[in-house]
Structure 1
Amino acid sequence: MGVLGRFLDPNIEAHLLDVEGEVVIDEVRKHWAATIWWYALMLLSIPLFVSMVFARGLFWAPMLLGLAAVSVGAWKVHVAHMDRFVITNMRVFRVHGVFTTHLATMPMTRILDISMMRTLWGHLLGYGHFVFESAAQDQGLRDIRFVGDPERRDLTIQRVIQLSGLRQTMKVEKWTADEADPDGT
């Protein structure tokens, strides 16, 4: 990937432990709801540019406001595009940033609890927010916001943890009415 390519798309493969056999299970991009307000800001530039015609001598004021709206909106959409949450067979990590890249990693063995929060808008639009808890006090990977299809992503993480043998499985047998315990269960 060239120099320009690094600023246009995060290179997830560069962060994988290929020698150890690490593979990507799921790469999660931000849900479109994370950028809707920035697209709305960019759309606001259209009436600002149209108003340049009526501003006559002060055409530069709506022009500068329109350019600022387009620039800020495009920048924020690009920042959201560069934010990736990755689930591998060994760990979860988040890569974000355009000029300065920030990488936060948590091995599957350190994940103690995953909380998922879905607001009313999250239910309606299909996204949720994850909170990862580990034994560490200060962690770089805690809040992952605007995750699309969060139930499936949560099950994917739970499945990877289970298949890696990090959690024990309790053997449960089916009970019949004839085998009721003395306590009535």
Structure 2
Amino acid sequence: MNLQEMIVYRDSRSRVIDKYLMSYEGRVIAVRKHPAVLLPAASGAVGSLLACAAVSAFTGFWLVWWLWLLSLGHLVWRVLGWSIDFFLVTEHRVMAVSGIFNRNVGMAPLSKVTDITLERTPLGRILGYGDFVLETAGQWQALKAVGYVPYPEQLYLEVSSVIFGAVDGSPD
């Protein structure tokens, strides 16, 4: 697996995903969240690096570097979590799998999904991600929103066609 396949959000061979599929169920769409989800942790690591360098240079207090190691550890933790979090759409359900130690699997049956909304912030439009908001029939929803979805317009059309059974009749 090359770097492009690791960063590309679609995952067609993950054992992480296969654990949550029923024997008769096949994957239609399986994507990782957009790497923009890592921006707060990465900016915290860079900011703490600069702050620790300044404090160490001006005061000579070298123990401050332990704080940078903590923020770097937080970044590594976030990257690990990002690598095993997925958004799945099968023929029967919509799922979001997340968590490192405590695995959370939010699921909504396709038959209960009544509406899907795509929301894009200005930063999301610049970086290429969006958020899906799912409306389901019933009061309690295990899966309400999925954030940081990569190439959202394309996935919105694909997910809509799976949920609502529409087939794209465009000549492309």
Give the distance between the partners of 1:109 and 1:162, measured in 2 at CA: 9
Equivalent in the alignment of 1:112 = 114
Give the distance between the partners of 2:65 and 2:153, measured in 1 at CA: 44
Equivalent residue pairs, number: 153
Q: CA deviation at 1:45?
A: 4.4
Give the alignment's Cα RMSD to 1 decimal.
2.2
User: Runs of 5+ in structure 1 lacking a partner?
Assistant: 1-8, 170-185
Runs (4 or more) in structure 1 with deviation over 6 Å come to none
Task: Report 1:29-108 matches (<5 A).
Answer: 29-47=32-50, 48=52, 52=56, 55-56=59-60, 58-60=61-63, 62-108=64-110
Is residue 49–residue 66 contact of structure 1 (8 Å, CA) maintained in 2? no
Identical-residue share of aligned pairs (%)? 29
Give the counterpart letter for 2:16 in structure 1: N
Q: CA deviation at 1:55?
A: 3.7
User: Runs of 5+ in structure 2 lacking a partner?
Assistant: 1-13, 168-172
Give the distance between the partners of 1:53 and 1:125, measured in 2 at CA: 35
Asked if 1:131 corresponds to 2:133, the answer is: yes
| Secondary structure of 1:153's aligned partner | helix
1:67-105 CA deviation, whole Å, 9 max, x = no partner?
Answer: 121112222232233321111122110111100111111
With 29-38 and 91-100 compared, the bigger mean Cα shift is at: 29-38
Equivalent in the alignment of 1:17 = 22
Equivalent in the alignment of 2:9 = none
